Amino acid sequence: MKQDESELVIPTGRVAGVDEAGRGPLAGPVVAGAVILDPDNPVSGLRDSKRLTAARREALYDEIRDKALAWAVGRADVEEIDRINILQASLLAMQRAVTALQPAAEYALIDGNRCPDLPCPAQAIVRGDNRVAAISAASIMAKVTRDREMIELDAHYPGYGLAQHKGYPSKAHMEALQRLGVLPVHRRSYAPVRKILEAQQG
């Protein structure tokens, strides 16, 4: 179910906010966060993770972990993204995050316009990461988790700048791809990566 801004009603009970990070990059997993906030122990300053500095995201990440009733992250790796496409992989990561929550969610609010298959009722909310605190929290958990993974991958694959661009198709990333070739962590189903592979094989 999708609602516009005038109709937005937040249910009561254990409501999980759900969001993902990493749909656009050429490399690395897509990661989803799910968070059930504690109304008696609020986290101030929550907003869409993309509108926060890295330092502020890290601080909020720790605060969410400390204060939330439950939080979890789920992921879909590069092989899954290439096999089932990024939309389905994003929904799968969200499903994994929600089903990992302890205690379980009674309801889920999903950022975007589609809901994954979940064991509880769910509602999709366009721009939810800037409208619903629990979705903002989930956005932060997903973004920080994924950024940390990309920094780790940068240590394994030096020269590509993964710690800086986090896998997004920046000029430096595209130049490194052309110069150094495609890595196992690159998404082969994405056109820029596929074209480089085709050129190298042809």
CA distance 125 to 43: 21
pLDDT digits (tens, 9 = 90+) for 28-70: 999 999 999 999 999 999 987 888 999 999 999 999 999 999 9
CA distance 162 to 167: 6
Mean pLDDT calculated for residue range 11-22: 94
pLDDT digits (tens, 9 = 90+) for 127-162: 999 999 999 999 999 999 999 999 999 999 999 999
pLDDT of residue 48: 79
pTM for this one?
Answer: 0.93
Q: Is the pLDDT of residue 2 over 80?
A: no
Q: Is the pLDDT of residue 15 over 80?
A: yes
Nearest Cα to 34, choosing from 13, 20, 48, 55? 20
Mean pLDDT calculated for residue range 66-78: 98
Give the Å distances, CA to CA, from 107 to 14, 72, 95, 104, 117. Answer: 7, 15, 13, 9, 12
Q: Is the pLDDT of residue 100 over 90?
A: yes
Structural domains of the chain sorted by starting position, each given as residue range(s) with its CATH number in brackets: 6-146 (3.30.420.10)
Mean pLDDT of the chain: 94
